[in-house]
Amino acid sequence: DSGVTQTPKHLITATGQRVTLRCSPRSGDLSVYWYQQSLDQGLQFLIQYYNGEERAKGNILERFSAQQFPDLHSELNLSSLELGDSALYFCASSVRPGQLNEKLFFGSGTQLSVL
């Protein structure tokens, strides 16, 4: 158990809908990262937050947004969903940013299926 909690584990929805994925980092970790794993695409970095502030952005679509709350949990919002958004979404946490020689701790992911 990594200590990172993601909910829900599975999500099935229709095109055009909006969903929210939730992540609780490990106790004491201030930094949260979101990754998307599509078939054969590896882990694509989406966005990173540190202590409530956006720290780095990757290939995140404009239809996607995220935030980190004062209690350090994070939510990833996906709107106007398309079939191609079907993927496994991972959240990871670390103590602080810019120290990526430190390992990230990953949750078990949310499997999103857009039908």
Partner 1 sequence: DQQVKQNSPSLSVQEGRISILNCDYTNSMFDYFLWYKKYPAEGPTFLISISSIKDKNEDGRFTVFLNKSAKHLSLHIVPSQPGDSAVYFCAASETDKLIFGTGTRLQVFP
Binding footprint of partner 1 on the chain (CB under 8 A)? 2, 4, 33, 35, 40-45, 48, 55-56, 58, 90, 92, 97-98, 100-101, 103-109
Q: Of the two residues 2 and 20, which places its CB atom closer to partner 1 in the complex? A: 2
Q: Pick the closest to residue 15 from 84, 83, 113 (CA basis).
A: 83
- Rounded to a whole number of angstroms, the minimum distance from the CB of residue 22 to partner 1 is 15
Those residues with Cβ within 8 angstroms of residue 92's Cβ, 6 or more apart along the chain or in another chain: 4, 32, 33, 34, 35, 104, 105, 106, 107
Q: Of the two residues 80 and 99, which places its CB atom closer to partner 1 in the complex? A: 99
* Both structure tokens of 37: 């794993």
- Rounded to a whole number of angstroms, the minimum distance from the CB of residue 88 to partner 1 is 9
